[in-house]
Structure 1
Amino acid sequence: MRKVVAAINLTIDGFCDHTAGIADEEIHDHYTALLNNSDVILYGRTTYELMQFWQTLLEKPSGEQSMDDFAKVIDRIPKIIFSTTLKDTGWATATLADEPLKETVLKLKQQSGGDILIGCRSLIDALANLNLIDEYQLCIHPVIIGKGLPLFDQINERTVFKLLKTKIFGAGATLLYYQRA
């Protein structure tokens, strides 16, 4: 059975903001490897539209190897988008979900293959409430922003976790790997 991995970047004060983190070469390399070991990533519309930035680097590479490598991998991996408003993804490897989130994830888990990544705070909250996340990879950046979108703001009940391992990046970000206790 495939593993569902929630992987997301956060500030120290618990907010999800893609512009607040310290996205250096080491972080890009880590997420490139994570994508290479996975077979699909699930996004909501807002996060998906933010990730479309990486398409621009395919047409006009940045010259920064780690960013350009990440752009190639994010382009390759299949993406399933959950949206009620988006009509077309505009990305050859992205499709709109044709079933509800729970049913989609349960079907994907039954298939063979690599990990199923969840890279969107709203989907992480929804799947956490359904107890369908096998591993959480929370990358905490050494930044406080004081406002924004908190990760776990729609959780229905208290959940206890077991820390599996940690990884510390040179610029000070810390990756915490958790599973439900």
Structure 2
Amino acid sequence: MRKLIYGMNVTLDGYTAAAGDDIDWSGPPSDELFQWWLDQELASGLTLYGRKLWEAMSPYWSTADQQPGATPAELAFARNWRDTPKVVFSSTLRGSLDWNTRLFDGDPVAEIARLKAEAGAQMTIGGATLAAAAMRAGLIDEYMLATHQVLVGGGTPFFTALGSWVNLNLVETRTFPGGVVLTRYEARR
């Protein structure tokens, strides 16, 4: 069975995006934080995306290694991003997607549970709306929050309303340059 990890940059008041899907609050990450996110991506055998996050990431990361001045970490991230198998969950996108990506328009919880039951490397899930469905279904094994020193007052929350409590164990804390604080938690089963 695969492990499912949900991790994103988040504001101190718990949002992955401010009102209007604005993510400018996070600014460019420090080299150390970017390398940490790259390491997480390299460890993943499958990435699950919601439509909004896919539409935000794919135009940039599909060609980021061709941009002048790209750092070695950005080159590695872009190449890994294209090569890693991905599933995009959307009922509005149509057609085929590039860069080792499959589109799924059915029940996301059933498909995530099916993928999780397979053998293989850990999976990551991105996009707060998609992750909320997996969270409510009890499918997430680990939560990773890179908390930035900003309050935005509203937007897209990292955590969703749940039907029952989820007890967690703290497995890591770390502070990155610029004051970003990483916390990692495993779900207690």
What is the TM-score of this pair, normalised by structure 2?
0.86
TM-superposition CA deviations, 1:121-158 (whole Å, max 9, x none)? 01211111100101111111122222321222443333
Using the aligned pairs only, state the percent identity.
Answer: 29
- 166-175 vs 89-98, which deviates more? 89-98
Aligned to 1:11: 11
The offset of 1:172, in angstroms, is: 1.2
CA RMSD of aligned residues (A): 1.8
Counterparts in 2 of 1:148-167, with a 5 A limit? Answer: 148-167=155-174
Number of corresponding residues: 181
Unaligned runs of 5+ in 2: 18-22
**2:46·2:124 contact (CA, 8 Å) conserved in 1?**
yes
**1:80·1:94 contact (CA, 8 Å) conserved in 2?**
yes
Counterparts in 2 of 1:55-94, with a 5 A limit? Answer: 55-88=62-95, 90-94=97-101
- 140-149 vs 31-40, which deviates more? 140-149
Alignment CA distance shift 1:89-1:29 (3 Å): farther
The offset of 1:24, in angstroms, is: 2.1
Q: Say whether 1:131 aligns with 2:138.
A: yes
Between the aligned partners of 1:106 and 1:167, the Cα distance in structure 2 is 30
TM-superposition CA deviations, 1:20-58 (whole Å, max 9, x none)? 224221122111111111111111111100011211313
Counterparts in 2 of 1:93-172, with a 5 A limit? Answer: 93-97=100-104, 99-172=106-179
TM-superposition CA deviations, 1:3-23 (whole Å, max 9, x none)? 001111101111113422242
Aligned to 1:28: 34
